[in-house]
Amino acid sequence: MLNSIYYGGKSQSSPLIVLHGLFGSANNWNSFARTMSNQRPVICVDLRNHGNSPWHSTHSYDDLATDVAMMLDQPADIIGHSMGGKAAMVLALRYPNLVNKLIVADISPIRYNYSQISIINTLLAIDLNKTESRAQVILQMDAIEPDLRAFLAHSINIREKVWRINLKTLKKDMRKIIGFPKFNTNFLGKTLFISGEKSDYTHESHKPKIRRLFPNSSFIGIQNAGHWLHVEKPLEFKDITNKFLNEK
């Protein structure tokens, strides 16, 4: 069973399930979940091979979607960022009866040309047994973009000297992670694609495929935001999310 963090009490509103991105965890969404939980229950999920959820030998989007489907006992609103956005889309396409509204943050249902293998190799080369703090680990991340180093270091259990992300499985299945499954079906529920206008993860050319898979979709961009739009522009991101979820 996936590890989850629950915010808010019982409500007549549908719960909001939050799915994080690659190398992340449920904890990345604490601030967003707290502010959203005054209107509806919010559940932040550690996806497989991340955080405190179980590790597995595979990491496909069908795996991730099925894991989330198994934890749901009622239909829910779903929001996913990056890898979590792809998992959310597959969940809606595979299990449409479990998804009310869908929000996809800065990702498209396409195969990307980049890989995160170089990051994984850098992390695998770090000997955690010779470190006493996250700061010492960050000093060994010279090959990784500075903006990512602190984020990645949050996935270290310093006391036990282990990563909270299953780097070996993620490396093995990177082609699946940068890809997207083929579908002949679509999801007819209301769907919102939020993009960071400075991000290169989304593009106008992606919209025909998005509209085929999600015909009831709309699009909105957040100015001066990149891929981490929910961190860079938290108030704008929250307001857009609330408006969409509250629409009839």
Q: Residues with catalytic annotation?
A: 82, 227
Angle 192-195-201 from CA coordinates, rounded to 5°:
120
- d(C-alpha 239, C-alpha 220), whole Å: 12
- d(C-alpha 7, C-alpha 43), whole Å: 6
Cβ count near 171 (within 10 Å): 18
Residue 6 parent element (H or E): strand 4-7
- d(C-alpha 196, C-alpha 210), whole Å: 17
Provide the 8-state DSSP code for 14.
P
Angle 140-143-149 from CA coordinates, rounded to 5°:
65
- d(C-alpha 17, C-alpha 229), whole Å: 18
Single-letter amino acid, residue 120: I
